[in-house]
Structure 1
C-alpha cells in the first residue's frame, strides 16, 4: 500500500478497497465514468476568468487575486497542488496586499470537477488562512461535494502516477 501515498490519512478499510480496484485495473474506468467531462480552461487568462467567476459568486467581499496562473513548479509529490500567496508592499504611505493563486499545471488535463475543487480550496484561503473547521465549511459552501472531490482527486493523482500512459482517467 506504499503506492497510496496520497491517501495515507484515510481509514485502512478504504485503502483496501482502493488497492483492490488498482489491482484489478478498474479504478481508471470507474473515475472516467464518474468524471467524464474535461474542461476548456487551458490558458492562464481562462483560469483567471474561471477563478474570478467563482470568487464573485461566493466571496464578493474577499480581496480579488491580482494574478492567477498555472504553475509547472507545483507538484503533488512535493505536497502542493496550488498555492495562495499574499505579498505586502509599501506604496507611498499605504501598505498594499496582492494575492496570487497558482494551480499545478497537471490540472489542465484533469476533469473539470477536480479543477473546481482545487480552485475552491485556494479561494477559501482568501478568507481563512488555516486549514481549520471554518476553512472547510467555506469550501463546502462553495462546493458541497468538496470532500468527495478531494478524495477522488487523490485517487486520480494515484492512478496518474502509477499508470500515466495507459489509463483513460489519468490523461
Structure 2
C-alpha cells in the first residue's frame, strides 16, 4: 500500500479490503472496462500534441513523446520530461521531450492521459506546486481522481490483481 501513503486511513482500508477479498481487479474493470489502442510512439505523440494544442498553445514545442521501456517504478515515475538546450551558432534551441513508461500501453486511456497531462504541465511548472496542479486540473478536470485511480492500479499490479 506504499502508493496510497498520505491518503485517509478509511480509503486505504477500503482498498486493502478489496485486495484481501481478491476483488481489486473486478472493481477496476467496473470503472475502466477497456484499455486504449495507442501502441506506437506516433500515436502517443499525436495524443500529447492534441492535448497541448487544446490547453497550452503558448508553451514551448515538444520535440518527442515516446514510450520508454526503461522507465519503471524504480525511477519513482511513470513518465519523465527532459529539457535540452543546444547552442547552434548564435541561437539556443530548447528541446522538450516526454517519455512515458511502456507499462502504460495496456491501461485505460484515462490513466494514460493523466500521465501525459502531468508531464505536459511540467513544460510550464517545473515543481509540483499549487500552480502545477491547477494546470493539471485545467487540462483534465478529474485529474486528482485519475491520479488516485492510477495509484490503485499500481497497488493492483503489485499484488497480482491487475485486470489488464
TM-score by length of 2: 0.96
Q: CA RMSD in A?
A: 1.1
Q: Which runs of 5+ in 1 are unaligned?
A: none
Partner of 1:43: 40
- Aligned-pair CA distance for 1:37: 2.6
Structure 1 runs of 4+ with >2 Å offset = none
Q: Pick from 36, 43, 49 the counterpart of residue 52 of structure 1.
A: 49
Distance 1:140 1:34 in 2: 20
The answer to whether structure 1 residue 107 and structure 2 residue 120 are counterparts is no
- Helix, strand or coil: the match of 1:14? helix
For this pair of structures, how many residues does the alignment match? 164
* Equivalent position of 2:65 in the other structure: 68
Give 1:157 shift.
1.0
SS of 2:157 mapped into structure 1: helix
Q: Is the 8 A contact 2:153 2:162 kept in 1?
A: no
Q: 1:37 and 1:56 mapped to 2: Cα distance?
A: 26
- Structure 2 residue matching 1:90: 3-state secondary structure: strand
Asked if structure 2 preserves the Cα contact closer than 8 Å seen for 1:29 and 1:168, the reply is: no
Distance in 2 between residues matched to 1:77 and 1:33, nearest whole Å = 29
Structure 2 unaligned regions, length at least 5 = none
Q: Aligned partners of 2:87 and 2:157: how far apart in 1?
A: 43
- The alignment's TM-score, normalised by the length of structure 1, stands at 0.92
